[in-house]
Amino acid sequence: MRSEKEKMLAGELYAAFDPELLQARTRAKQLLHRLNVTEYLVTDAARLILAELIPHAGRNLWVEPPFHCDYGSHLHCGDNVYFNVNCVVLDAARITIGSNVLFGPGVQLYAATHPLDAPVRRTLELARPITIGDDCWLGGGSIVCPGVTIGPGCVTGAGSVVTKDIPPYSLAVGNPARVIKDLTA
């Protein structure tokens, strides 16, 4: 029988209040409290907290507090990733971020979602992975919805709501975000 965590990471319906998942979210909140309240500045101590919170990160992960995530352990980052202030990462599914990626203030990555059927939604949740390619810049306040892939070299305009995949080297803006420019031209 599969655990609720295994179901969650496989994109199946799962019980979010399972003790193992509650414990993992509590651990993340404790680390976030240390990062966002005790340290607050990007110090050597803050880097140690980040290494524990986000163990699958490349070199030079830079996070400006405050920062929020559900687990941290489902966030996989390449090298040279920068999160500006007030970013939110709901990493109930794997979120993969390439190298040399910049997140403006208030960017939100939502792998977590809910069933559309109300009776099911009362007790079960869903999650879909998010992938962001190398060399992307997500403008302040951008929201990336569950299951979205953003190709390498993309830019999202401030406040964009990305509900569908964005092809490589594109500028996407708006709500919902739509591609308005090929960045290779």
CA distances from 155 to 101, 107, 129, 131, 162 (A): 10, 13, 19, 14, 11
Q: The tokens 């976030």 sit on which residue?
A: 32
Sheet holding 81-83, edge to edge: 61-63, 81-83, 101-103, 137-138, 155-156, 170-173, 178-182
56 is catalytic: no
Tokens representing residue 56 in the block: 């699958």
Catalytic residue among 33, 68, 74, 114: 114
Contact 56, 75 (CB under 8 A): yes
Strand partners, 76: 56, 96
HEC letters along 107-149: CEEECEECCCCHHHHCCCEEECCEEECCCCEECCCCEECCCCE
Distance CA 67, CA 172 (A): 24
Active-site residue set: 114
